[in-house]
Structure 1
Amino acid sequence: MMPGDDVRRRHRLRGKALQDAWIHFLGPLPWQSFVTLTFDPKRVYPVNCAKAGREAFTWCNLAARTLRCPLGWVYAPERSRSGQWHVHALIMGTSPESLTVPAAIWRLRNGFTDVQPVTGRRRITLYTTKAAALTGEVVWSDTLGRYRHALRDEVTVSLHP
């Protein structure tokens, strides 16, 4: 197992610590891809928040290993109105097009993926952080420190109330 691959040692933030981290560090990072990971009940059922988080953690690390680069990522599990769990993730360190193979692996294993470039930063960030605000947790990669040099001097988007 590689460093950062142990799901029991995930970096998690909740509540006030999450808000502070988003304002001062996570929000201003140059995110490149917005990924939605969903589950097909015919492939994997039942899925609770913990399982959705474990599968997302595994996939994010698998994507980094597959692409042989230290991707930066943050994800938040979210429950839809139908009660199904899914995960929203922001990824940096590679283009959305490069995530084709990792996305195919998710589809084979779990269900569906949607990978979009981050173009409307405010819209994407607000949508992703809405999930974090509702579940009260985000999980991030241990590689985010490598991207500190790329912090933007733009206005930071706050978490959804």
Structure 2
Amino acid sequence: MKNILVVLVILAAAGYLWKQNHQKVQAPEVLANPVYAEARVKMNVQGRDIEGVMLGKTVDQADCQKNIETLTRQIEEQSPKVCPTCKVNVTSECKADLAPRYAILFDNQPTHVAYISFAKGDPSEREYRLIYWGVTVPESERLCSGLSVFQRGRKGPVSCVHAREQ
């Protein structure tokens, strides 16, 4: 279980690096037609299948593509260092629309696991959501203990959206 939590936190940190390292394209206060960056990290950790999903609300297709390239590179570089025995598969795409189960995340609605919400603080920042599937509620809640790390260098607030009561 400890290794699983370490992997989750490191991959969450990769998501943090994603937002830190992407080009600072200025975005309007409200995005009329956002393009969503969706990056999925499927991993097998100690015989368990876990999927991390990082979602970003970007200005346009070019902004989305830049975000995805940076995230994919970060995950591919960090995963073998963090968990050499884990099998990791990264996929990503840009979408005009999100599936309903992901669209509610941008309204900070609870799901059956906790997730991280990165709000936009100024025109150079983007909104992001980070959620893990295949983890228990207590494991997902532990991810929330890293909020101070995610907040560094960000103007917009970073918060934990706790799991809804079952």
TM bin (shorter chain): 0.3 to 0.5
**Larger helix share, 1 or 2:** 1
The TM-score with structure 1 as length reference comes to 0.41
The TM-score with structure 2 as length reference comes to 0.40
**Larger strand share, 1 or 2:** 2
